[in-house]
Amino acid sequence: MAVTYDKAYKVLAQQENISNSKAKELIDRGVVKVGEQKVLIARGEIRTDTKFNIKEIGKIKVIFEDKDILVVDKPAFLTADDVAKKYEGAILLNRLDKETSGVMMFAKNEDFQKKAIKEFQANKVYKEYVAIVEGKVIEEIEIDKPILTTKDRGMAKSKIDLKRGKPAKSTVYPVLVEGNKSKVKVVIESGRTHQIRVHLNSVGLPIIGDGIYGRTASNINRVLLHSKVTKIFDYVFESPEPKEFRVYDFNS
């Protein structure tokens, strides 16, 4: 029998009995794999007998809500804008990358939004993340390196740039070392685009699962970065670590 090829999203649509647009959306989100390889290009040619694996996207959970603020636990593979669409009238206060999970905050009125923006600008908002990195972290590391972000075809890319970059500071604390991988706590001041991913890579500690700035792994299909704790005014919000951050998972 002759081998036939078609665009990946069309093969996926037929296999899963879903629309072409839904199949393309799943591939674009990064949740479709063939074996251990993530399918990256929806329009790429692929064998029509290819078998896909689709990772289920978690549900958005409300952590806290009052008259001023709405806080949710964002699952990986949803963009900040995807989440914002589900809460009409809420005003986004902090963004997380598509594959980063955890605490995301919305203001419910303009007065609170203005107060919150001042707190962010004054670096008074405490932002704590957890990450799994390649390399051994056994002591506290302070990374104070300016970051320049550029956009190409709507895609943001950041890098360390001592001349043109904006100030950015990340402090890394060891949590656990297993083999040549470490779980770390990262507390950031400011909040530049892709700051933690760029900073950790710049000191030889690439985040596992980060295909752009870090290190991919066959058994991991997302960036292992999670927004765990955020403190603003008298509020403290915490999101539990997803199962991917358990030590026996990332070292397998």
Report, as residue numbers or ranges, the catalytic residues. Answer: 97
The radius of gyration computed from the CA coordinates of the chain, to the nearest angstrom, equals: 19
CA dist., res. 163 & res. 26, Å (int): 39
Closest among 1, 211, 176 to 99, alpha carbons compared: 211
Query: Are 149 and 194 spatial neighbours (Cβ–Cβ below 8 Å)?
Result: yes
CA dist., res. 47 & res. 5, Å (int): 4
∠ CA 175-160-242, rounded to 5°: 35
- Buried residues in 73-89 as b, exposed as e (16+ CB within 10 A): bbbbbbeeeebbeebee
Q: Two tokens at 200?
A: 């950790």
Query: Are 11 and 41 spatial neighbours (Cβ–Cβ below 8 Å)?
Result: no
